[in-house]
Amino acid sequence: MTTLNHSSRDVIDGAHVAILATSNRDGRPQSSVIFIKRDCDTVLFSTIEGRLKTRNMRRDPRISLVVVDKNNAGRYVEIRGTVDITEDPDKTLLYDMYDRYMGGATPPPEPDAHRLIVRLTPDKLWQWPPLPAPA
């Protein structure tokens, strides 16, 4: 596991756009813009059972997540790692995300949605601009 540094935590915790990349069965990439939340040195996001990204992560838990800083043009962090998927029957993470990103709005009804929590554990971290080399 790779530890998130101060700079990458700032990008994730601040105003950003996050893009998830998974691999389709045929090896081609599949990308999705998602809402994320940091939990110490892991990153959480919500998904629904049956979606393509969910099927891809269940088949191959290795993903890439690019998080672009909305307030500092050109600044971003890429996190590569593996995911663990757990149940979220009360949709608690979905409500957390709507509180953070949608100003507390109530999520739309999803009567048939089977919500899941995805936890990304980083294996590799890349950021721009790169951190200065140690002196």
Has domain 6-128 been given CATH number 2.130.10.30? Answer: no
3-class secondary-structure state, position 30: strand
E strand or H helix that includes residue 37: strand 37-39
Q: What is the pLDDT of residue 135?
A: 64
CA separation (Å) from 78 to 71, 99, 108?
Answer: 17, 25, 30
pTM: 0.94
Q: Is 133 a residue whose pLDDT tops 80?
A: no
What pLDDT digit, counting tens, does each position of 83-98 carry? 999 999 999 999 999 9
- Please confirm whether the linkage preceding 132 is cis (ω < 30° from 0): no
CA separation (Å) from 45 to 4, 27, 30, 74, 130?
Answer: 17, 23, 16, 23, 26
SS3 content of the chain, % helix, strand, coil (to 5): 20, 45, 40
DSSP conformation class of 71: T
